[in-house]
Structure formats: C-alpha cells, structure tokens
Amino acid sequence: MLDTAYHRIIVCSLCRDTVTRLRSGEDLCAELRSRLAGTLASSFAVETVDCMAGCSRPLTVAFNAQGKASYLFGSIDSGTDAGALVEFARLYASLADGWCSSDQRPARLAGKILARIPAGGREQVR
C-alpha cells in the first residue's frame, strides 16, 4: 500500500555530466514528474537544489520524507535511470520508515547509493 505522506525527490541542478559537461538535472526533474503522474504524483514533490555535496558523483538525487530514512544517489544518468528512480519511489512510498536494503532497491541503482540516513530519533539496526 502506498503511503500518501509528503515525499520529496530532490535533484541537483548544478551537476554536470562527466562526458558532455551539460547540466541535466532539470531534464531529469521533468522526466520524473511525467513518469510519476498518476498514482504517485499526489505523494511526491520533485524539486531541484543547487548542490548536495556529491559533486564527484554527478548527477545526484535524494529522497526524503518526514519520519523516513533519507537517501542520496550519485552517478545518476538522466537518460537511463529515471525508470529505476520511479521504481525506487514506489518502494520508498510503501515503506513506513523508508528503510530498505540493496536487494530491495532496483538493480540499476546498485553502486549508486552514496548515503542512507536513518530518520531522526530512531535507531536502525538491520
């Protein structure tokens, strides 16, 4: 069952593609909003921010929500990873505390997680 709480997907607007040197954060936001339209649109906001201190692993994307673990992904390809991010969004919305392990996350995101931060005030032992 999907959690209808407010979730955020935050995309860095300043990261530059390592090959093309182009900034692709805005394009990824548009793609995510399009793919989230429908069942997930009401519980996710897609936003940009100028830098999340993951500059050595562009493009960075974060997920957070009140009372849930937060995630920071890096080395996101705006052209090929949008589907995996939406798949992760569906998983994230279904988890009460947002906590999940690598075997639960989309295989395409393996090796792209930079941080998993427990929700405040909760001890996570897994």
Q: Give the one residue of 55, 66, 83, 111 binding ligand FES; rule: CB under 6 A.
A: 55
CB of 22 or CB of 51, closer to ligand FES:
51
3-state secondary structure of 84: helix
CB of 54 or CB of 98, closer to ligand FES:
54
C-beta separation of 64 from 10 below 8 A: yes
- The DSSP call for residue 16 is B
CB of 14 or CB of 95, closer to ligand FES:
14
Total interface residues for ligand FES by CB under 6 A: 10
CB of 23 or CB of 90, closer to ligand FES:
23
Q: Give the one residue of 58, 92, 98, 116 binding ligand FES; rule: CB under 6 A.
A: 58
Between CA 90 and CA 59 the distance in angstroms is: 21
Q: How far is the CB of 34 from ligand FES (least distance, A)?
A: 22
Q: Which of residues 2-41 bind ligand FES (CB under 6 A)?
A: 12, 14-15
Instruction: Point out which residues bind ligand FES (CB under 6 A).
Output: 12, 14-15, 51-55, 58, 60
